Amino acid sequence: MIRKITGVIVGYIAMVAFVFISFTVLYLILGAEGSFEPGTYKVSTVWIVFSIIFSLIAAVLGGYVCMLIAKTKKTAMVLAGIVFVLGIIIAIPALGEAGVESNKVREGSVSNTEAMQNAEQPAITLILNPILGVIGVIAGAGLWREKKVEV
Which amino acid, residue 54? Answer: F
Residue 94 lies in a domain: yes
| pLDDT tens column, 54-110 | 999 999 999 999 999 999 999 999 999 999 999 999 888 877 765 556 667 777 778
Q: Total structural domains in the chain?
A: 1
Residue 151 lies in a domain: no
CA nearest neighbour of 84 among 49, 55, 120:
55
| pLDDT tens column, 23-45 | 999 999 998 889 988 888 889 99
> What does the chain look like in DSSP terms, one character per residue?
-HHHHHHHHHHHHHHHHHHHHHHHHHHHHHHHHHHB-TTS-BBPHHHHHHHHHHHHHHHHHHHHHHHHHH--HHHHHHHHHHHHHHHHHHHHHHHHHHTSPP-----S---HHHHHHH-B--HHHHHHHHHHHHHHHHHHHHH--PPPPP-
Residue 16 lies in a domain: yes
Residue 150 lies in a domain: no
Residue 133 lies in a domain: yes
Query: Residue 42 sits in which domain range?
Result: 2-143
Grade residue 117 by pLDDT with cuts at 50, 70 and 90: confident
Residue 21 lies in a domain: yes
Three-state DSSP at 93 gives: helix
